[in-house]
Amino acid sequence: MHIESIPMWEGTGNNYAYLVSDEKTKDAVIIDPANPSEVLPSLKKAVDSGIKLNSIVNTHHHHDHAGGNAEVLKTYQIPIVGGKDCDKVTKTPSHGETFKVGNINVKALHTPCHTQDSICYLFEDGNDRAVFTGDTLFIGGCGRFFEGTPEEMDAALNKTLAALADDTKVFPGHEYTKGNIKFGIKVIQSEPIKKLEAFANSNKQTQGKFTIGDEKQFNVFMRLDDPAVQKFTGKTDRIDVMSALREAKNSM
């Protein structure tokens, strides 16, 4: 599979849309095309080169992810796969439901917390695996608990996403790595997090450069049983640790 990252609102929201295509069949989907003025030129170029755009895929209903749906539909009359509250949505897959993009297998993973309709999507093409996590999992961090609880984020990160193969590449909805590292390095000073800090300081974009296995090593929200993380929070119960971490990150 081929993944094209399309940065949007650089310097403010630092969002990403993703054009994912099957290199054999040319079938493709566009994930979270929230800012059409930045996304449509890339779509036109791809379609002109033979890409067959089959659907819009949304990770959740927030405007900076699903807000471009109506505008994109004016050019491409295609179905929208996403959470139940996404604008113009035509299909909400159930948890664990699968569908195809050409030869690529896609599995919907419900991860309620940031929003109750948050869905991550696992794309598998042979041994090539990628997960598009919206605002649930960032490189080195996680989303705010706008509509959910610490229990739900623990389940989303440490049960649903942590169960994926360690070599699954992570493609989040925003480039927030530098900020996440600024917080994470206060919590744990391990070699994995120091390496992530060095990479983030020398690379503008980090999406697709790290895996679920990496996240288990340096993402403090996926290390709730780590003594260093528990010491930072002053808690030992994993839900209390998750809650304290999010509160501390929010106050930065």
Average pLDDT rounded to a whole number, residues 108-122? 98
Residue 221 lies inside a defined structural domain of this protein: no
50 within some domain: yes
- What CATH number should be reported for the domain holding residue 147? 3.60.15.10
Average pLDDT over residues 172-181: 98
Does residue 196 fall inside a structural domain? no
Place 143 in a pLDDT band, splitting at 50, 70 and 90. Answer: very high
Active site residues: 60, 62, 64-65, 114, 135, 174
Percent of the chain with pLDDT over 70: 100
Which residues are within 8 A (CB) of 159 and not within 5 positions of it... i.e. 6 or more apart?
A: none
Average pLDDT over residues 185-193: 96
Residue 207 domain flag: no
> Phi then psi for 197, rounded to 5 degrees?
-60, -45
Mean pLDDT of 223-251: 98
Please give the share of the chain, as a percent, with pLDDT higher than 90: 100
Q: How many CB atoms lie within 10 A of CB 83?
A: 24
Number of domains comprising the chain? 1
Question: Does residue 242 fall inside a structural domain?
Answer: no
Are 145 and 114 a contacting pair, CB within 8 Å? yes
Instruction: Record the tokens describing residue 6, joined without a space.
Output: 């399309």
Give residue 99's domain range. Answer: 2-176
The CB density around residue 119, as the number of other CB atoms within 10 Å, is 28
Cβ within 8 Å of residue 2, ≥6 positions away: 20, 21, 22, 23
pLDDT at 37: 97
Say if 218 falls within a structural domain: no
Is residue 126 domain-resident? yes
What is the CA angle 51-32-138, rounded to 5? 120
Show the tokens assigned to 137.
């999992």
For the segment 34-93, what is each residue's pLDDT rounded down to a tens digit? 999 999 999 999 999 999 999 999 999 999 999 999 999 999 999 999 999 999 999 999
Q: In 130-147, which positions are buried (b, 16+ CB within 10 angstroms) versus exposed (e)?
A: bbbbbbbbbbbbbbebeb
Is pTM beyond 0.85? Reply is yes
Average pLDDT, the chain: 98
- Residue 141 confidence (pLDDT): 98
Q: What is the mean pLDDT of residues 155-162?
A: 98
Q: Residue 189 domain-assigned? A: no
